[in-house]
Amino acid sequence: MNVFRSLSVILLSLFTGPLYAEDAAPVQPWAEPDVVLAAARIGMSDEQKTSFRDNVTTFFQCRVKGLQSLMKARDQVDLARKARSKTLGCIHRLDKSMKGLVTDEQYPRYETYRDTLKKYLQEL
**Per-residue pLDDT reduced to its tens digit, 20-55:** 455 566 778 888 999 999 999 999 999 999 999 999
**pLDDT bracket for residue 9 (50, 70, 90):** very low
Residue 3 lies in a domain: no
Cα end-to-end distance, the chain, whole Å = 49
Which residues constitute the domain of residue 39?
27-122
Q: How many domains does the chain have?
A: 1
- Inform me whether the pLDDT recorded for 3 exceeds 60: no
Q: Check: CB of residue 118 under 8 Å from CB of residue 83.
A: no
Residue 53 lies in a domain: yes
Q: Check: CB of residue 70 under 8 Å from CB of residue 79.
A: yes
Instruction: Please tell me whether the overall predicted TM-score, pTM, comes out greater than 0.85 for this model.
Output: no
Residue 115 lies in a domain: yes
Residues in the chain: 124
pLDDT in tens, 94-105: 999 999 999 999
CA-CA distance, 103 to 92, in Å (whole number)? 18
- Read off φ and ψ for residue 91, nearest 5 degrees: -65, -40
Residue 10 lies in a domain: no
